[in-house]
Chains A and B, each alone.
Chain A
């Protein structure tokens, strides 16, 4: 029979608008978080990271917000461009000797010109 694929959350925005991509994590011990961008046919590419002792970090056109109380992470992209169209993954690491990055399911961002 036909297999059921992973249904990615999707976000569609107009070029120039701001985008907000959300991620919930489950491990309260996680102390390091990364956002990755994956374009079609390519490997995940690092965008920005944040440690658990911070609640906000800014990069070029991107901002990551961390709310440890509700275990929620968001990625804000300012002035979204067509080149931002991709799947965005959040990844968490629980620190210490734990090397494992646990990836979320991803969100597909589509930017309409």
Chain B
């Protein structure tokens, strides 16, 4: 298995532009997570999907952020409009079961977003 695949690996965009990050989870995994990593706050959970349904988006910073999972093999995280403070590494992770029952999450390589 190729693992969790994220694209793009790097994104540089101007403030105000729309940014879309993409994720393909590991086949057969039914849980998907979007995390953001910054030096200031470390790893933060943004949103969690289970069986393609958003379960908890309380970690999403504000209305500028949205996430979708139209099917079991694809998810997007969109920022519109982007701001410099959104600059971070965004990770997608998937798990074969709900992490609450003791299963680790497998992380992708991340997308490094720079908003200038």
- Give the interface of A toward B (CB within 8 A): 3-6, 31-32, 34, 36, 41-46, 49, 51, 89, 93-101, 103-106
Chain A contacts of B93 at CB under 8 A? Answer: 43
Contact A99 B48 (CB under 8 A): yes
Chain A contacts of B43 at CB under 8 A? Answer: 44, 89, 103
CB closest chain-A residue, reference B6:
A43
Interface centre among B39, B99, B108, B110 (most CB of A within 10 A): B99
Complex CA distance for A41 and B42, rounded to whole angstroms: 15
Chain B contacts of A97 at CB under 8 A? Answer: 98, 100
Chain A contacts of B39 at CB under 8 A? Answer: 5-6
Contact A95 B102 (CB under 8 A): yes
Contact partner, A5, options B40, B100, B104, Cβ 8 Å: B40
Contact partner, B102, options A36, A49, A105, Cβ 8 Å: A49
- B45 contacts partner chain A, Cβ-Cβ < 8 Å: yes
- B12 contacts partner chain A, Cβ-Cβ < 8 Å: no
CB closest chain-B residue, reference A50:
B102
Contact A6 B100 (CB under 8 A): no
Complex CA distance for A104 and B109, rounded to whole angstroms: 19
Interface size on B, as a range, is: 20 to 34
CB closest chain-A residue, reference B9:
A41
Task: Summarize A's interface: helix, strand, loop or mixed.
Answer: loop
Contact B99 A100 (CB under 8 A): yes
Chain B contacts of A32 at CB under 8 A? Answer: 102
Interface centre among A41, A43, A95 (most CB of B within 10 A): A43
CB distance from B84 to the nearest CB of A (A): 11
Please judge, given known A-B contacts A6-B41, A6-B42, A44-B43, whether A101 and B102 are in contact too, CB under 8 Å: no
CB distance from A106 to the nearest CB of B (A): 7
Contact A103 B42 (CB under 8 A): yes
Chain B contacts of A42 at CB under 8 A? Answer: 109-110
- B53 contacts partner chain A, Cβ-Cβ < 8 Å: no
Known: A42-B109, A49-B102, A95-B100. 16 other contacts (CB 8 A): A4-B40, A5-B39, A5-B40, A43-B91, A43-B93, A44-B43, A44-B107, A45-B107, A49-B104, A93-B99, A95-B101, A99-B50, A99-B98, A100-B56, A100-B99, A103-B42
